[in-house]
Amino acid sequence: MPNGANRIVPGRAKPTMTSPLPGAEPGLYLDANATEALRPEAREAVLAAFDLVGNPASVHADGRAARKLLESARAALAARLGARPENVVFCAGATEANAMAIHGLAGGGAIVIGATEHDAVRAAAPAALIAPVDAAGRLDQTAFAALLAAHRPALACVMAANNETGVLNDIAAIAALCAAQGTRLHVDAVQAAGRVADPDYLAQGASSVATSAHKLGGPKGVGALLLAPEAASAFAPLIRGGGQERGRRGGTHNLPGIAGFAAALDAAHATTCPDPRLAALRDAIEAGARDCGARIAGAGAPRLPNTTCLVLPGLAAEAQVIALDLDGIRVSAGSACSSGKAASSHVLAAMGLGDLAGNAIRVSLPWNAPDDAPARFLAAYRRLAARALRKSAHVSTSAA
């Protein structure tokens, strides 16, 4: 270890992961759809689980104690999300959960996905048929039904809530269309769980549901795939190993992560869900952004209470994100799961925004957003809008 870096020295405080990086400044975090702040309940659950020595697969006393915690967390998630405990399959996160569903339920048959699905679904099903969305970003059910009737796919994948716009799909209606053609439905519920009142998509007819802990205030690196009974009996595992998760996903359990996941989900639903306070903050941000000349992508559709997608003509998304960051405001352009790149959004392109798809930022309020978030954000955003207006005026003058 060169120069003794990170070595624990007697009498010196241990380094902590909660300390800010050198040069980092405190700011206003408005990127919850990338990851939420860790909830105190989740932190406590994680720390308590670290004190358990045993492997849940071991049969001795320490192993049984770990197993008890594992199954308690499993039962808690099942109760909140409408699954049977035995059909909750823990994994490393939503990307794996989506891949597990596509691999385990399609059986090599055709797949249909929505045009605005997350890249985790798009990459796992590169040959999938694409169902269009309407101008508000909701799945076009007429076109979707036509694809189902024409191709009789084995699996359809439709997200409950879009990660960029917050737009909600009518999962019950979509599930009914799938059932009529004998097609299983997989729902990416990553952004919806913990933010909508009733995320019981299995009861609405889905065959499987993907969830992730860190999107609702839990730790990073843990998720779950929920299976309907008929899907559980037909499921083919993606990762085989020591027989964990009833043979559906091999590998030693991330027990601290799983414990934190269950605690975060309980905490998210301990108060009113969806959160009216976050909806009011979002609405205030949108009102001020409209005054600056911004458009709200998906404004005509039901949306998550914490999410808005602001389209500002004349200024690229990357430039907006950088400028806001310099003002201490943390937001994203498109998905945060694309290796840190800020590129034109396939979601907004599918919604028909054309060149404006490269001019949008996502503002997503975390569960602990301060009440003055709109005022602080808009103070910086107005400077952006003025910059975009000056740029537009310069281009018009040059063209003349």
CATH 2.40.420.20 fits domain 28-37+274-394 = no
* For residue 252, pLDDT beyond 50: yes
The structure's pTM equals: 0.90
Looking at residue 199, its pLDDT comes to 85
Residue 295 carries which side chain, given as an amino acid letter?
Answer: R
d(CA 151, CA 232): 24
Question: E strands within the chain?
Answer: 28-29, 88-91, 111-114, 129-131, 155-159, 184-188, 208-212, 223-227, 295-296, 307-311, 329-330, 360-364
How many helices (H) and strands (E) would you count in the chain?
Answer: 12, 12
Domain ranges of the chain: 28-37+274-394, 40-270
**Which token pair is 186?**
């997989």
**Which token pair is 313?**
């003509």
Percent of the chain with pLDDT over 90: 84
d(CA 220, CA 38): 9
* For residue 122, pLDDT beyond 70: yes
214-218, 334-338, 383-387: range with lowest mean pLDDT: 334-338
- Going by the DSSP 8-state scheme, the letter that residue 154 receives in this structure is S
337 is catalytic: yes
Q: What is the pLDDT of residues 3-61, one digit of tens each?
A: 333 332 333 333 333 334 444 457 999 999 999 999 999 999 999 999 999 999 999 99
Are 306 and 32 contacting, i.e. CB atoms less than 8 angstroms apart?
yes
For helices 255-268 and 61-81, what crossing angle results, to 10°? 30
Looking at residue 25, its pLDDT comes to 55
Are 363 and 331 contacting, i.e. CB atoms less than 8 angstroms apart?
yes
The more confidently predicted of residues 102 and 21 is: 102
Average per-residue pLDDT for the chain: 90
Are 134 and 170 contacting, i.e. CB atoms less than 8 angstroms apart?
no
Phi, psi of 156 (to 5 degrees): -120, 145
d(CA 307, CA 217): 16
d(CA 33, CA 53): 33
Average pLDDT (214-234) is: 97
**Which token pair is 213?**
């802990």
* For residue 360, pLDDT beyond 80: yes
d(CA 307, CA 154): 32
Average pLDDT (204-210) is: 98
d(CA 149, CA 145): 6
Q: What is the pLDDT of residues 267-319, one digit of tens each?
A: 999 888 899 999 999 999 999 999 999 999 999 899 999 999 999 998 999 99
Looking at residue 4, its pLDDT comes to 36
Tell me the CATH architecture of domain 40-270: 3-Layer(aba) Sandwich (3.40)
d(CA 215, CA 193): 8
* For residue 141, pLDDT beyond 90: yes
91, 178, 292, 337: the catalytic one is 337
Phi, psi of 95 (to 5 degrees): -60, -45
Residue 96 carries which side chain, given as an amino acid letter?
Answer: E
